[in-house]
Amino acid sequence: SAVISQKPSRDICQRGTSLTIQCQVDSQVTMMFWYRQQPGQSLTLIATANQGSEATYESGFVIDKFPISRPNLTFSTLTVSNMSPEDSSIYLCSVGLAGYEQYFGPGTRLTVT
């Protein structure tokens, strides 16, 4: 398994501002992902964070809105830019380990007012 931490655990932000979420893993991992969970909904993949190269974004998500960094094999950041109330969600990072079992961080609960 893996121990994953995220910062901040929650935040309340104003419309038009940006928030950067950090994800730290206790071991080196190749695969790291960012998901969004809107209120009352299931999880949707935003992007795959690739170490040393640009992230791979899913349909409906763009780099200008959700820039991602992956400077090494234990750390990644997701920025939610120019926020609107529709961005209010839980943002989760996950890692894929042996057998491609995925483990998730505790999530960051974002409220945009």
Partner 1 sequence: KQEVTQIPAALSVPEGENLVLNCSFTDSAIYNLQWFRQDPGKGLTSLLLIQSSQREQTSGRLNASLDKSSGRSTLYIAASQPGDSATYLCATHKAAGNKLTFGGGTRVLVKP
| Residues of this chain that bind partner 1 (CB under 8 A) | 1, 4, 6, 30-31, 33, 41-45, 48, 58, 90, 92, 94, 96, 99-107, 109
Structure tokens at 38: 């809107």
Integer angstrom CA distances of residue 4 from 1, 69, 79, 103, 104:
10, 17, 18, 8, 7
| C-alpha to C-alpha distance for 32 and 93, rounded to whole angstroms | 7
- The residue type found at 26 is D
Min CB(39)–partner 1 separation in Å = 11
Min CB(65)–partner 1 separation in Å = 19
Min CB(38)–partner 1 separation in Å = 12
Closer residue to partner 1 in complex, CB, 83/110 = 110
Closer residue to partner 1 in complex, CB, 67/96 = 96
Closer residue to partner 1 in complex, CB, 82/101 = 101
Residue 36 parent element (H or E): strand 31-37
